[in-house]
Amino acid sequence: MEIYPCHYEPTISNEQFIPDHIFIYLETGFMNVFYGNKVYEMRAGDYCFVKRNHLARYRKGELSGRPFKSVAVFLTQEFLRLFREEYTIEAVECPGGTDAILHLDRHPMLESFVHSMRPYMQLEGRERNDFMNLKTRELTLVLLKTNPALGPVLFDFSDPGKIDLEDFMNRNFRFNVSLQRFSYLSGRSLTVFKEDFKKVFHTSPGKWLIEKRLTEARFQIETLGRRPSEVYLEVGFEDLSHFSFAFKKKFGASPNRLLKAGV
């Protein structure tokens, strides 16, 4: 299967970990991005830049009778390293900041870029990849021209630094990713992550995540009246039956029973 750096189609991955920067233009429909305790809303005509090394969840669909359709361009670390060498861009320290999604103001150069993408998206195979590589370079130049503050973000190739573990986990426990991913994003090796976790939470990461997710699920079901089928994915479970089993084991009643009791 061919993997393209650019997409012009009614889909964006639901992957919860963002390994590469992404430029997104929403042509039709809507997309909400859930990051930590924040929700970023995108509507037709919006541009945004999604930073790498973050956890986020997407919800997308049609709006006003028009289906979701977007242009998404992935700026990989390999591509950006080569770009920096070609254009002899000096390394600049990336400023701090926790926002993973940045709204971009409309600009004629961005509008022209998006419009110019359409014919090339009909190509396939090597020919498409060759053109998409050129278009990705064009986009990088446009972003640097229209949003100079993105320069340090684009060319920061460092791994995440060590951050406050309690705050990080309380913001991100709903994401169903591996402990290795949690440890990397918190700026720790897996061994140090487990050691620090035990000091902070006085239990293992696995047990804490189950407890935290089930407690959040109970609140969503019992207090907010949401259905188990709406909740289990949002709190980090992959399978509804496994969620129901773990829920009943912890609370002594099935999630459906609690839902009915709360109605």
Report yes or no: 221 and 255 within 8 Å, Cβ to Cβ: yes
**Helices 108-117 and 125-146, packing angle to 10 deg:** 180
Q: Taking the domains of the chain in order of start, what are their residue ranges?
A: 6-154, 165-262
| Confidence (pTM) | 0.81
Report residue 45 as tokens.
């005509």
Q: pLDDT tens-digit profile of 55-104?
A: 988 888 999 999 999 999 999 999 999 999 998 877 666 655 557 899 99
What CATH fold (topology level) applies to the domain 165-262? Answer: Arc Repressor Mutant, subunit A (1.10.10)
Q: pLDDT tens-digit profile of 214-262?
A: 999 999 998 888 999 989 988 999 889 999 999 999 999 999 888 766 5
Q: Which helix (H) or strand (E) holds 80?
A: helix 77-86
The CATH code belonging to domain 6-154 is: 2.60.120.280
SS3 content of the chain, % helix, strand, coil (to 5): 45, 20, 35
- Identity of residue 92: V
- Of 112, 108, 151, whose CA–CA distance to 135 is shortest? 112
Q: How far is CA 197 from each of CA 183, 190, 209, rounded to the nearest angstrom?
A: 10, 10, 11
